[in-house]
Structure 1
């Protein structure tokens, strides 16, 4: 028996190393140290690499190596090489209510040294940064400075330290003092409006009410102008209302500021409510775990529990971590992870996942994964990170918003100056008023807030239904599906195989044939192998197997009890020159040969899932042009299953690499903007999942490989979940485009009416904050996915 030693590598940087001749001397001296397997010194990069076979010796070897280096080159400083690992950190910008400011913060942080990527998720108030691990302290400090410079009231919180802080009210809406100030301002405004009084007293009342209502906006605008940030809503509202005062329109100046502030307040409430609604959809993070310590039970954070620990889950509590039930029996609610409303029964030896809710019995669970590796943790991370992969519509609106406001401001300026100079009888006061109407309308908040909210809501709603979509780009792409390609086993069929028939050709019994097949399949975890081992029903003594060779896509060759056994498909029989008669049967046929002669065959069949046929029918009903099945199974079985399900095209007897080739052929058949979806089990089909426009992993519950490989993960084994995913995507797109058309339509109409002198500032305020408020409430409808 051979043993493979584990080699540990250490890299040292020799700062100031300038003697090329010393290189080989240092290498030879270090190579003689006890435990050193290999050593190399790269003079160009000044990197000394040492490999040893015993980690416990590393410290002494490194110390001796430093002495050797200093012996030959006393001035050289030896340092351990810093490995610049890139990690991710989320900073919560609590109180961030300015959309344009969010974009500015994102742009500024991108410029910081050491930052690899950054995206601002306005919906969840998170700034997610990827950077080098050792730079975090500096980067966090610089990010905080940027945020405070742009939005001084925003609090920067490291998400890893953030506890139970959900949402905020826009513009300090939960601040009672601000509400009181707005109330007093509104009362003074009402008095000035309702009672006859001298012009000077009237002006004083309007001015005081204006300062009480809009003082904060004016201060923010002033601070931003000082920082060179001109085109934001504070600046626009300040210019518009000051302009109204300048031309003597005191009531409208105050009214615009008052209704702007009220609109912003309610808009903030709506955004906050939608944030909480989306948060509630993913409220599967366990708060604590009941850790069993001897005879006692201690309430601890899930992060403190390690693999192998025993935890107690009482009725009504969430299962905090993945594990196996070792004591107790209960019904568990899995809907938060799978979307399934029917509770599932668990007992001793049942696997349970974090996020399940225990309904009645008391369960003792042996933990199988740490919290960071648990299914619930991975799901939360996927959904939270989904915002980084923005849909094309989101990207367009973000770019559009950067140019829209400045363009409108310059148009307003032209509108105020040019007409009075070229049109007879036109007055500056009249055209300045029209220009001010333009300014009030020019903030694109309705689009910049509601569209990301719509996509994020769609992703959150899908996750509540057991569908994980890894980004807005994939959610939008699901609207354009032309071709859906299914794997067969475990996707359209249950993947639970049974031995249905055993045929013998030689003078041996069926039991012997099954025994030899069981020996051949004993090292495989393929469903076919599992069914043969289950039918054999005895323990296979693997020590009797003298040699084992698995031939990809063909079968297995072993030597056992001085006999050469072949077990596989007809390709194996052909390649090994075994004479056989093809078996005509529905199912997977495993041919077994002993010492070069066919001994018999085993027929194994798989069962079609209950909702497969309905899923195929509904996919066609919602616009999918072609549905294809790829399988490694034999032609007869593949054609039968395809015919039964109503599949348009089937390709059988495919090896994994041949599936990729077929997929590429099918990809050329789609329309220019069409998408190709591949649905597989996420483990064996990783290359095909990666090649498709949208890779969908079926039955990903608890499967790390499935969650990693696919763009969309269906957490149950139901093909109908793909139909639900496409319907959620279409509903999201419909609502997003309703908001786009509504916002552009209203703003466009009011802009034209304002330019023509037919719209006042009242209509302009509605076109700004009113439209934004309606768009936010409309975006929230995407969360309602129950009736899909």
Structure 2
């Protein structure tokens, strides 16, 4: 919302729009909607073809505001969408085809009767009127309002061509402009298709069991708690939890994972995924507008509407550029005849050509087409980029910091070693005591010890533990069978034993830590009974990912962890990061990210989106692991790797860099070709048809260049 409307409480409604032909037209529509009665503010998202209205307006009013483009408007959540009109090619472009035929007949007439013959002129005039009717309708209105956009410039140029008798070139300008507009619309539709394909992957209805009866129900009528029956080979319509059955589910549409995932009772299921094998009964947990796929679509569409820094520059530049071109064109037309007695006809014609070549359409579309395409392509590969600004910044990264647990490692610790030093307590008995104590603990590694006991079928839950307490930052203690047991760090036992920890124990602890394991000592206040070592397994892909990032030119990769230095160093060396920072508290991670930003500028932080929220927020680009089904990751991160798959990170950097390069190429090319064409004015070589070809060619080339981002693959 604008500064004036920020404090005003008003209704916010989002609509889908059909019929935008260019970014300039979207800006005009936004301005028209803002002037509607009852509307406080409006924001048009050209990339996603949506308008957000703050205040009250009917669909009829909105379509009236977009009448200059014959825009159609529907509510955002309309399940049916726009009715697809399958018009034959000839009917769809009848005006352009008719205009082109009339030009052809005009040339035939000229060759028979000579230039300037009344029949030839009439044929060219008819071509201009038929081919340029929609152009002139908008152009004249803009002219009266002194709004100088692409259509205004074209209208002035064609009127000028008619005044000086250049009917042939006027007709060619109209036809080439109509073709250019059609190509631009087709290109943006192609770029938006990546999001439309996401919208279509979830079925519009599902088989639901209610009150003992099975029935097909539309998704917007399905309630939380309904039981959804999904047969093999069917797509899943709603998010939910498996209550019965076992199957392999293809989640590629959501997470980008190519391998199907095994699903059984109590596992989460996402709308839009494909049930490949067994029959599943799923309890619906979210309404249709709250499903993971709905959130992804919404966030991607919002992201496509966010202006990247380069787009903000282009928009600001175009604002001053268009009036400047009008002034330059006027000077080209007037100065030579007035000061140098040159031909009025020649230089007015040159001025009109400057108007045409000066159209900023190629420049205006250069950034949005690349942003929309790249963000859509990323979403299809299981990567959610939440705006053009993050896309650009990810392409300029110099350093990437990683949280250890759950990012470089699997986040699921396992017991790796269990060494006893005393024989009076049996191995199983001692393990049951350790598990009983850890069962009452909140320590993250406790689950690994309990899992170990369960795997070996050692009972622990019924063991009586008295006076259990946690020793902050050091360990736990409790009384079992009148003996007080301690489990904790070497620091705890050094204190208990007054610095007299056996050298063999110290050596074993050091060895385990150097292997990247967390060693916990078990004993009483006077003796050490055992060491139990737990390790968080490193992801198989971490080493390969770090190598790929270094190959891409990322100068610094840092692992940040609260773990001890020896363990952290062992894992850091194994995965290949350039630096390791250990024994950090959350606030230490935040300070380290700030330090990295001051040193390297563009820094990313990769974490789980929950524990690392401060560091994610402080980085240039916050990247969260496992966005699918994790609301916190979707909301807090700038980029979410939906499938909890670290291998998507190098692809994200590669795609972002490609997008950044294409945006720079497009801006340079669209400005460069204008400059070259304008220089042709000096020797008087610039013609109207060269001007329109330069403009159309530039628009087409920057659009096709942007669409190359669809071909960037995740390898």
Shared fold (TM-score greater than 0.5)?
yes
1:304 has 2:221 as partner: yes
Question: CA deviation digits over 1:429-478, x for unaligned, max 9?
Answer: 11111111111122222232241121121111112111111111111001
C-alpha distance in structure 1 between counterparts of 2:143 and 2:64, whole Å: 16
Matches within 5 A, 1:587-606: 587-592=517-522, 594=524, 600-606=530-536
- TM-score, structure 1 as length reference: 0.80
Native 8 Å contact 2:248 2:262 kept in 1: yes
C-alpha distance in structure 1 between counterparts of 2:496 and 2:60, whole Å: 66
2:631 aligns with 704
1:569 aligns with 489
2:389 aligns with 473
User: Residue 105 of structure 1: CA displacement?
Assistant: 3.9
Distance 1:397 1:379, change over 3 A: same
C-alpha distance in structure 1 between counterparts of 2:437 and 2:636, whole Å: 30
SS at match of 2:599: coil
User: Residue 259 of structure 1: CA displacement?
Assistant: 1.6
Distance 1:571 1:427, change over 3 A: farther
1:754 has 2:672 as partner: no
C-alpha distance in structure 2 between counterparts of 1:512 and 1:101, whole Å: 77
Native 8 Å contact 2:45 2:302 kept in 1: no
Native 8 Å contact 1:167 1:272 kept in 2: no
SS at match of 1:495: strand
1:785 aligns with 712
Find 1:156's aligned residue among 65, 73, 85. Answer: 73
Find 2:141's aligned residue among 178, 199, 223. Answer: 223
Native 8 Å contact 2:421 2:529 kept in 1: yes
1:728 has 2:655 as partner: yes
Find 2:19's aligned residue among 84, 92, 95. Answer: 95
2:546 aligns with 616
1:742 aligns with 669
1:203 aligns with 121
Question: CA deviation digits over 1:128-183, x for unaligned, max 9?
Answer: 35x5xxxx4x2x349945961773622232212362328899xxx98966733333
User: Residue 512 of structure 1: CA displacement?
Assistant: 4.3
1:364 aligns with 281
C-alpha distance in structure 2 between counterparts of 1:552 and 1:370, whole Å: 43
Native 8 Å contact 1:440 1:768 kept in 2: yes
C-alpha distance in structure 1 between counterparts of 2:448 and 2:136, whole Å: 75
Native 8 Å contact 1:291 1:297 kept in 2: yes
Distance 1:623 1:194, change over 3 A: same
Distance 1:97 1:494, change over 3 A: same
Native 8 Å contact 1:434 1:757 kept in 2: yes
1:316 aligns with 233
Q: Which moved more, 1:733-742 or 1:484-493?
A: 733-742
C-alpha distance in structure 2 between counterparts of 1:400 and 1:487, whole Å: 41
Native 8 Å contact 1:578 1:596 kept in 2: no
Aligned residues: 691
User: Residue 329 of structure 1: CA displacement?
Assistant: 3.4
Find 2:331's aligned residue among 410, 414, 425. Answer: 414
C-alpha distance in structure 2 between counterparts of 1:691 and 1:576, whole Å: 41
C-alpha distance in structure 1 between counterparts of 2:479 and 2:13, whole Å: 54
Tell me: higher relative CO, structure 1 or 2? Use CA pairs within 8 A at least 6 residues apart.
2
Native 8 Å contact 1:590 1:601 kept in 2: yes
C-alpha distance in structure 2 between counterparts of 1:168 and 1:452, whole Å: 26
2:411 aligns with 495
Q: Which moved more, 1:241-250 or 1:357-366?
A: 357-366
Question: CA deviation digits over 1:527-564, x for unaligned, max 9?
Answer: 52211111122676489566766666544566777776
Native 8 Å contact 1:281 1:460 kept in 2: no
C-alpha distance in structure 1 between counterparts of 2:403 and 2:60, whole Å: 47
SS at match of 1:496: strand
Question: CA deviation digits over 1:636-689, x for unaligned, max 9?
Answer: 21111112222211122222222223333333321xxx3111111222222221
Q: Which moved more, 1:583-592 or 1:438-447?
A: 583-592
SS at match of 1:677: strand
Distance 1:88 1:712, change over 3 A: farther
C-alpha distance in structure 1 between counterparts of 2:587 and 2:492, whole Å: 18
Question: CA deviation digits over 1:468-496, x for unaligned, max 9?
Answer: 11111111001221111111122112223
Matches within 5 A, 1:124-163: 124-129=48-53, 131=54, 136=55, 138=56, 140-141=57-58, 144=61, 148=65, 151=68, 153-161=70-78, 163=80
C-alpha distance in structure 1 between counterparts of 2:472 and 2:156, whole Å: 73
User: Residue 700 of structure 1: CA displacement?
Assistant: 3.0
C-alpha distance in structure 2 between counterparts of 1:166 and 1:732, whole Å: 33
Native 8 Å contact 1:566 1:594 kept in 2: yes
Q: Which moved more, 1:605-614 or 1:160-169?
A: 160-169
Q: Which runs of 5+ in 1 are unaligned?
A: 1-82
User: Residue 412 of structure 1: CA displacement?
Assistant: 0.2
Question: CA deviation digits over 1:400-445, x for unaligned, max 9?
Answer: 1211111111110111111111114x11111111111111122222
2:3 aligns with none
Native 8 Å contact 1:321 1:353 kept in 2: yes
Distance 1:355 1:567, change over 3 A: farther
Native 8 Å contact 2:674 2:694 kept in 1: yes
Q: Which moved more, 1:698-707 or 1:484-493?
A: 698-707
- TM-score, structure 2 as length reference: 0.88
Indicate the RMSD between aligned Cα atoms, in angstroms. 3.3
Distance 1:637 1:157, change over 3 A: same
SS at match of 1:639: helix
